[in-house]
Amino acid sequence: MGKGVRNLSLFHQAPNCEIHINKSIYNLKDIVKDKKVIDIGCGFGPNKSIVENAGGDWIGVEPFENYDGIVKADAQSLPFADNEFDVAIMDAVLEHIPDVGKAFSEVSRVLKKNGVFIGYVAFMECFHEISYSHLSFKALEFYSEINGMKLEKISGGSSFGIDYHLSVILYPLPFKFMRKLISFFIRLIFKIKSKIAFLGLKIFRKLSSKDAKKLSGLYYKVECLRQSNGFSYIVRKI
């Protein structure tokens, strides 16, 4: 079984979507403009002013406290009608939900057709506070597909598990600059390895420059994703 997994092609390992490394994939102001938005796990509501200033209708959801203007509810059982929202946000929330599949099902239920689900989820980040399951990029794709949605874009590689773990170990020492430096060198190492892979594909596998570039570029992206602290994502209901 292990050998079979190792022999899977990069195209099977990679998510079937746009992959970005160390890059923002959405502008919240643009996405929520004139839209009805549900912000699940919204905390004290930092996104409220962004949505409302863009002409959107913001509804925040939190399970623990009933803050002013925020609905007290659970992501696994949202008290809203089907097809009610244009945009759903979960920013660093999915890892804190016991039943991730149920949360995806609820997001899909309350979203209108062609609505978007955006946010960030922890992956290689240390387990923290009350975190249950840190999702891989393949898990994001899987839970989206079985709930009538599609992972359209994913971004990782801005930080990695190793630099985050070091910052936790060395706390309270200031580590922000070192984290950025370590992340830069990790991306550089993967970039160098992808260049070596490009040469190997051309010389030993006799691939064209176009095919070798495509495959080695995908290798770089997958390696960055595999070590990422977490991912930003855009999922669309289809």
Q: CB within 8 A of 198, min separation 6: which ones? A: 212, 213, 216
What is the edge-to-edge ordering of all strands in the sheet holding 57-62? 18-21, 149-156, 230-237, 111-122, 85-91, 36-40, 57-62, 70-72
Calculated CA dihedral for residues 85, 154, 77, 64, nearest 10 degrees: -100
Q: Within 10 Å of residue 140's Cβ, how many Cβ atoms?
A: 22
Residue holding tokens 């609820």?
106
Q: What is the pLDDT of residue 50?
A: 97
Q: What is the pLDDT of residue 177?
A: 84
Helix axes 137-145, 100-110, angle to 10 degrees: 50
Q: Report how far residue 173's alpha carbon sits from residue 231's, in angstroms, rounded to the nearest whole number.
A: 26
Q: What is the pLDDT of residue 1?
A: 39
Distance of CA 136 to the CA centre of its chain: 9
230 forms beta bridges with 122
| One pLDDT digit (tens) per residue for the chain, 238 residues | 344 444 457 778 899 999 999 999 999 999 999 999 999 999 989 999 999 999 999 999 999 877 777 999 999 999 999 999 999 999 999 999 999 999 999 999 999 999 999 999 999 998 887 899 899 999 999 999 999 999 999 999 999 999 888 888 888 888 888 889 999 999 999 999 999 999 999 999 999 999 999 999 999 999 999 999 999 999 999 9
Are the C-beta atoms of 2 and 124 separated by less than 8 Å? no
Which domains, and CATH codes, for the chain? Answer: 2-159+229-237 (3.40.50.150)
Q: What is the pTM of this model?
A: 0.91
First-to-last alpha carbon distance for the chain, in angstroms, is: 34
> What does residue 216 show for φ and ψ, rounded to 5 degrees?
-70, -35
> What does residue 16 show for φ and ψ, rounded to 5 degrees?
-85, 70
Greatest CA separation found in the chain?
A: 64
